[in-house]
Amino acid sequence: MAGGRTGGTYRKFSLHSSSHRSTRQYARKDSPAYFRERAFQWVSDLRESVEFLYSRPDIDRERIGFHGFSIGAMWGPLFLALEPRPKAGVLLMGGLPGPIQTREMLPPEVNSATFAPRVRVPVLMINGRDDVIFIYETAQVPLFNLLGSPANKKKHKTYPGARSVFGR
């Protein structure tokens, strides 16, 4: 998400993993090998996106942030730790990876738990308290606690319900 220079206007564009078409055979999509192969490409794409925003005169560089939804929120710490230019992050309905996202534990080089302590920008996490994908006690709270953002610059907001932040 990028803020324009006029009156608090925001512009947003999205990257979707489904847009990465390739003839290459990747490992099983829920395996550590798959994430290891793809993580570099995802971070590279996000960096190129920030570079594109920096090239635009109508974009205020001081108001570029990151917004990740679900698995994008799971990968958010990796991006926010490796790309210094975003000024804030919003992680919506995400958390640390677990057995629901990957059948096996992710190796440290692509695990959000490795990168979360290196995040220094303000972060807002928004989750459903009863989320069955990113479970409050095992995925949400541990990620929030690992974030390296100053305590007064990070917030974890939960709402009743599961995979919706708008209630049951």
H-run or E-run covering 116: none
6's CB contacts (< 8 A; 6+ apart) are: none
Burial 8-45 (b: 16+ CB within 10 A, else e): eeeeeeeeeeeeeeeeeeeeeeeebeebeebbeebbee
Q: Is residue 57 part of a domain?
A: yes
Map tokens 């804030």 to a residue. Answer: 88
Q: Whole domain around residue 122: which residue ranges? A: 26-159
Structural domain contains residue 12:
no
User: Which CATH number do you get for residue 44?
Assistant: 3.40.50.1820
Are the C-beta atoms of 124 and 90 separated by less than 8 Å?
Answer: yes
Domain assignment of residue 61, yes or no: yes
pLDDT digits 0-9 by tens, 57-70: 999 999 999 999 99
Q: Is residue 8 part of a domain?
A: no
pLDDT digit string, tens, across residues 95-134: 998 766 655 677 888 889 999 999 999 999 999 999 988 9
In sequence order, the 6+-apart residues with CB closer than 8 A to the CB of 43 are 78, 79, 82, 83
- For 134-163, the pLDDT digits (tens) are 999 999 999 999 999 999 999 999 999 887
Task: Tell me, yes or no, whether 164 lies in a domain.
Answer: no
**Residue 36 confidence (pLDDT):** 77
pLDDT digits (tens, 9 = 90+) for 21-53: 444 555 566 667 777 778 888 888 999 999 999
Residue 75 has pLDDT above 70, yes or no: yes
* Confidence (pLDDT) at 41: 84
Q: How many structural domains are present in the chain? A: 1
Residue 59: what are its φ and ψ, rounded to 5°? -110, 130
| Residue 139 belongs to a domain | yes
In a domain? residue 87: yes
> Is residue 6 pLDDT above 70, yes or no?
no
Residue 130 lies in a domain: yes
Q: Are strands 59-64 and 66-69 parallel, antiparallel or unpaired?
A: unpaired
Q: Report the pLDDT value the prediction gives residue 47, as an integer from 0 to 100.
A: 92
Beta bridge partners of 155: 124
Contacts 24+ apart (CB under 8 A), 99-105: 100/132, 100/133, 100/134, 101/30, 101/71, 101/74, 101/133, 102/30, 102/31, 102/32, 102/35, 103/30, 103/31, 104/31, 104/32, 105/32
Beta strand pairing call for 89-92 and 66-69: parallel
pLDDT recorded at residue 104:
63
